[in-house]
Amino acid sequence: MMKGFRISPSMAVVAVLIILTLLGAWRYDGFLGTYNVQTVLRYNSMFALVALGMCFVIMTGGIDLSVGSVAAFSSVVAAHLSGYGLFPGLIGGLAAGLFAGTLNALIITRLKIAPFIATLATMLAASGTALLLANNQSVSVSYDTYFTNLGQGDLLSFMRPEWVDAEDAGFFAGVIGFILSFPTPAFIALAAYIAGAIVINHTAFGRHVLAVGGGTEASRLMGLPVDRTIFLVYVISGGMAGMAGVILASQFGAGQPIEGVGWELFAIASVVVGGTLLTGGNGSIGGTLAGALLLGIIFTILNFENGMGWISLSAYWQSVVRGVFLFVVVVLQAKLANPAKAAA
């Protein structure tokens, strides 16, 4: 067997992300500039949230196809409620997501229907309900409340000291300024990821999530609350999709009943690229974040590269590159997994 240092798949993807970022910073002007960073983080934080929920589900060996349309559904709910203020919108959207997640959880644990089918059904139902609630069009959010700050604001901009932007500010000030310029949704996603990492790595529930994915029957025999664990991961996934929906509505100023198509598969790809096994039982929250950012950053790099004028690759190449990434990762995973199984 291999001895010594092991490179875990999630470490590898973090490394690739860092290398690509450094490469971008070196090659393109403004790659790490405030505007670009804000744009990338603002947009991708929705995907990151959805991927986080998906990561929990996949760690138990399940799958949640409904996340995209649940996000759309809760964006509509949040938009409707945004007139009552930031919190009604936020809580309403979140509740919509949690409701859909609970529906998934019930169909899976009570009716014993495979997650693939259960969440496929919820996907259709959420999409239909979103369209009904929205009357087939986007629902404008209210600009009279602070609701739009959730998606469009920059959480820490109010505490930005002037010296940060001074002409002769040093490297340190630059870093502070960089962090302070993060958009609000990025902080929400970051908080969710930190909470997620703590839950997975430092709570009994988190360990049970991984144990159930690693061996459902063995977990049952060890006395773990298998059904409750499975139930909760779908609720969490629904909640994350709900939060993504709230940000969607806030960021684009409208509840979008037809958004979210293909989000679920993008989220799955992020999770898998991040080193989490699709069969469950092993994975990494940090890797998932890296996976989501990696897939997101490809688009930005393509944009910048085109701006350089050397080559002209259309934005559509990003899907191809993402697919290739996924391909490489799953083939590597399969190659790593199969000989081990044969030897065991």
Partner 1 sequence: MSAVSVTKKEPRNFNRAAFFQRYGVGLALILLIIFNLIFTPNFATAQTLAVNLTQVCTIVIVGVGMTLVIATGGIDLSVGSLMAIAGAFSPMFFTGQLIPVDNLYFGIALGIAFPVLIAGMFGLFNGWLVTKFSIQPIIATLVLFIAGRGIAQVSTNGDLQVFKVPEFQAIAIGRVLGVPFQVWIMLAIVIVAAFILHRTVFGRQVLAVGGNEAAARLSGIPVSRVKFLVYFISGLCSGVAGLIVIAMNSAADANLIGLGMELDAIAAVVVGGTLLSGGRATIIGTLLGALVIQLVRYTLLANGVPDPAALVVKAGLIVLAVWLQRQEQA
Partner 2 sequence: MQKISKSFGGVPALIEASLEVMPAEIMALVGQNGAGKSTMIKILNGAYVRDEGSISFNGTPWTAASPQQAQRAGISTIFQEINLIGYRSVAENIFLGREPKRGFGLLDWAKMNAESAALLKRFDVKVDVREPLERFSTAIQQMVAIARAVSFDARLVIMDEPTSSLDEAEVAVLLRTIRQLKAEGVAVIFVSHKLDELYEVCDRVTIMRDGRTVQVSAMKDISKLHLVAAMLGRDLAEVKKRGATAFEESSGANIGGELLQARNIAVGHRVHDASLDIRKGEIVGLAGLLGSGRTETARAIFAADAKTSGDITFNGQPAAFKGPADAIKAGMGYCSEDRKAQGIVPGMSVAENLTLALMPALTRSGMLDEAKQREVVDRFIKEIGIKCAGPDQKIRELSGGNQQKVLLARWLCMNPKLLILDEPTRGIDVGAKAEIQMLIRRLASNGLGVLMISSELEEIVEGADRVFVLREGKTVAEFDHQNMTESKVMHAMAHGHDT
Residue 83 to residue 71: CA distance in whole angstroms: 19
Please choose which of partner 2, partner 1, none residue 203 contacts, taking the beta carbon within 5 to 8 angstroms, the exact cut-off set by kind: partner 2
d(CA 318, CA 32): 20
For residue 340, the partner it binds in partner 2, partner 1, none, with Cβ less than 5 to 8 A by kind, is partner 2
71 interacts with partner 1 by CB under 8 A: no
Q: With left for phi above 0 and alpha for psi between -120 and 50, is residue 26 left, alpha or beta?
A: alpha
Which listed residue (100, 118, 212, 230) binds partner 1 by CB under 8 A?
118
Q: What is the DSSP string of 154-180?
A: -TTGGG--GGGGSTT--HHHHHHHHHH
Site string for partner 1, 304-333 (x = CB under 8 A): ----------xxxxxxxxxxx-xx--xx--
| Count of alpha carbons within 13 angstroms of residue 140, beta-carbon side | 4
276 counts as binding partner 1 under rule CB under 8 A: no
Binders of partner 2 in range 205-224 (CB under 8 A): 207-208, 210-211, 213-215, 217-219, 221-224
Contact 49, 238 (CB under 8 A): no
The option from partner 2, partner 1, none interacting with 71 (CB < 5 to 8 A, set by class) reads: none
3 state SS for 20-88: HHHHHHHHCCCCCCHHHHHHHHHHHHHHHHHHHHHHHHHHCCCCCCCHHHHHHHHHHHHHHHHHHCHHH
Tell me: does residue 282 bind partner 2 (CB under 8 A): yes
Question: What is the separation of C-alpha 270 from the centre of its chain, rounded to a whole number of angstroms?
Answer: 8
Among partner 2, partner 1, none, the one that 214 touches (CB under a kind-dependent 5 to 8 A) is partner 2
* Binding stretches for partner 1 (CB under 8 A): 63, 65, 107, 111-114, 116-118, 120-125, 127-132, 136, 261, 265-266, 268-269, 272, 278-279, 314-324, 326-327, 330-331, 334-335, 338
* Binding stretches for partner 2 (CB under 8 A): 1, 198, 202-204, 207-208, 210-211, 213-215, 217-219, 221-224, 277, 281-282, 340, 344
